[in-house]
Amino acid sequence: MQLQLPEPGADALAASHSLQQLVADDIVAAGGWISFERYMELVLYAPRLGYYSGGAAKLGKDGDFTTAPEISPLFGATLAHLATELIATSPSVANVLLEFGAGTGKLAADILRELQARGQLPDQYFIVEISAQLRDRQRQTLGGFASRVVWLDALPESFSGVVIGNEVLDAMPVRLALKAGQAWLERGVALDAQGAFCFADRASAELPVAQIPQADALPDGYLTEVAPVAIGFMRTLAQMLTRGDGAVAILPDYGFPAAEYYLAERAQGTLMCHYRHHAHPDPFYLPGLQDVTAHVDFTAMAVAAVEQGAEVLAYTSQAAFLLNAGVGELLLRTSPEQSMQYLPQANAVQKLISPAEMGELFKVLVIGHRAQWPQRMLHLDRTHRL
């Protein structure tokens, strides 16, 4: 398939070629085949060359995709108000925030500005960030809050406070599972006769098909994703929460509960790539210069958390979450009569909550330990669908 997408610059193309060679060497060293999870890990996170560890812009109009914080500062402001409420109503939840995978730092900046305006800055704002390049960008964005922000290389052993992980789970590598008769094969990556990347299927004892409900009933040739890395992350996150005095983790992302994720008609899975605001299905196109992602199986994430002692506090659409949390009231801080200021903000909020935009595709999973979740936040809750 020939993709008609914008051409990269010479430096970017050279970096992609270097990454392709690194991946090819890894395939050869592994005996000619690597899991798609390993391929995805390399193209996203290989030092200096991977998509998230390289130097190219990822977010906003100059990047490859746009996240909720890039659309409107009211997303962060809404989270800020909810965080202060959680801290105020749950004595065991400390006045500390932790963000995992903070991107450019814009969400952190929006949250901290809102809390500063309210005179309610947290004691500390931790950021867990494995990308040195993104960490540098975050330092620039958050320079005004240097005394409050602390960067970490990994999740701490225990934590009390409010955790935010916006679009974290979908950026974690997945394995590909292919139904072949009554068995499942793992779809990995090999090299063809010309040395180009290609898919290759083989039997694998490591494939966690138990994640797939009613797997035996799915049709022959069914292709989907399983997410052991994200499940492992959720287990670690839940352990961190349950070892603390009290905490809440808020995880907005795009995906479905298992009953909707593994539908028979979704026979080619949810794998998708993003390059210069173009979405396409080819993970071998310009490795290192495009995002490679899959939707989240929220049921698997919730089960992993509960198995480690955490509690599912809520699961709902992004639209319901933001409206329940008060995004509409925050929007009205700008009078509709001030149309030049109000209309752009209203249009941005519409993108966040409209079913045709992010409001329905994106969901919010909330897990916690010894924390009081506001009753109004359960309006239109969908935990029963998990």
In this predicted model, what pLDDT tens digit does every residue of 322-343 receive, in sequence order?
999 999 999 999 999 999 999 9
CA 63 to each of CA 72, 178, 226, 344: distance values in angstroms, whole numbers, following the listed order = 16, 32, 28, 21
- φ/ψ (deg, to 5) at 88: -75, -35
> How far is residue 292's CA from residue 287's CA, in Å, rounded to a whole number?
9
Please determine, for residue 180, whether its predicted confidence score (pLDDT) is greater than 60.
yes
Determine which helix (DSSP H) or strand (DSSP E) holds 263, and give its type and residue range: none
Determine the pLDDT at residue 223: 98
Q: What is the mean pLDDT of residues 100-119?
A: 96
Average pLDDT for 294-299: 98
Mean pLDDT of the 108-116 span: 98
Cα distances from 277 to residues 67, 269, 294, 339, in angstroms, run 12, 21, 16, 29
Q: How many other CB atoms are found less than 10 A from the CB of residue 140? A: 9
Looking at the DSSP assignment, which residues form a beta bridge with residue 188?
35, 200
pLDDT at position 9 over 60? yes
Pick the more confident residue, 205 or 127: 127
pTM for the full predicted model: 0.95
With a CB cutoff of 8 Å and minimum separation 6, the contacts of 253 are: 166, 167, 168, 169, 170, 296, 362, 363, 365
Residue 41 has pLDDT above 50, yes or no: yes
Do 250 and 79 contact (CB within 8 A), yes or no?
yes
User: Residue 206: its pLDDT value, please?
Assistant: 86
Can you tell me whether residue 211 is helix, strand or coil?
helix
Q: Distance between CA atoms of 25 and 19, rounded to whole angstroms? A: 10
State the pLDDT at residue 133.
81
Q: What confidence category does residue 60 fall into, taking pLDDT thresholds of 50, 70 and 90?
A: very low
| pLDDT over 80 (residue 58) | no
pLDDT at 59 over 70: no
pLDDT band at 1 (very low <50, low <70, confident <90, very high): low
Provide the pLDDT confidence category of residue 56 given band limits of 50, 70 and 90: low
pLDDT at 65: 60
Task: Compare 116 and 60 and report the one with higher pLDDT.
Answer: 116
Per-residue model confidence (pLDDT) at position 278: 86
Per-residue confidence band for 383, with pLDDT thresholds at 50, 70 and 90? very high
- Is residue 31 classed as helix, strand or coil in its secondary structure? coil
The residue among 46, 148, 44, 24 whose CA lies nearest residue 96 is: 148
| Domains and their CATH numbers in the chain | 10-385 (3.40.50.12710)
